[in-house]
Amino acid sequence: MPINILSLPSKDLQYALDCMDIGDLVAFSLCSKRTKNLVESSNRQLYRFAVLVYENRIRFEMDVGTIETIYDRVFLDIFDFYIIRLGDRTQVWMRQEFNRSDWIAHLMNIFNDSMITFLSIENDSLSYLDTIKLFFSKMSHPSYQ
């Protein structure tokens, strides 16, 4: 039997969100506008936020933890209309109305306070430039390749 998580007292709901893995939190944020706002307001901090721009996809690598202990890591490959969560159980999450820029905007919004710590661009085609520009304002220091 399902449970109605959104009817939990806000403090408990927030604590439950704090207990979730980053990948699960991203999946939760994609359920509705309300869940996206909840994740955004949970202010989850990433220790490492790397973006790698490839020929056909953009990879987000997100780590939570400290330099000594990375206790949660997620890899997301972003395409138009869908995103792939890589891991033990690789998943494809579809959003017909989303293009690559929408996915990126969504992820940057929910981890709003986290700065990109590493940017690698392996595709310099002009068609990509507008998308890539989204990252520059969120760079913690200019260490892109």
What is the Cβ-side half-sphere exposure of residue 47, based on CA atoms within 13 angstroms? Answer: 12
Q: How far apart are the first and last CA of the chain?
A: 49
Provide, rounded to whole angstroms, the least separation between the CB of residue 96 and another protein.
Answer: 13
User: Which residue type, as a one-letter code, is found at position 105?
Assistant: A
- Residue 9 touches another protein, criterion: CB under 8 A: yes
State the binding string over 78-117 for another protein (x if CB under 8 A, else -).
---------xxx-x-x------------------------
User: Which residue type, as a one-letter code, is found at position 127?
Assistant: S
**Closest among 115, 48, 56 to 84, alpha carbons compared:** 56
Query: What is the DSSP-derived secondary structure letter of residue 55?
Result: S
CA–CA distance, 12 with 29 (Å, rounded to integer): 17
CA–CA distance, 102 with 107 (Å, rounded to integer): 9
- Residue 24 touches another protein, criterion: CB under 8 A: yes
- Residue 122 touches another protein, criterion: CB under 8 A: no
Residues 28-67 that bind another protein (CB under 8 A): 28, 30-35
- Residue 70 touches another protein, criterion: CB under 8 A: no
Provide, rounded to whole angstroms, the least separation between the CB of residue 52 and another protein.
Answer: 23
Cβ distance to another protein smaller for residue 85 or 138: 85
- Which positions lie near another protein, rule CB under 8 A? 1-6, 8-9, 11-12, 15-21, 23-24, 27-28, 30-35, 87-89, 91, 93
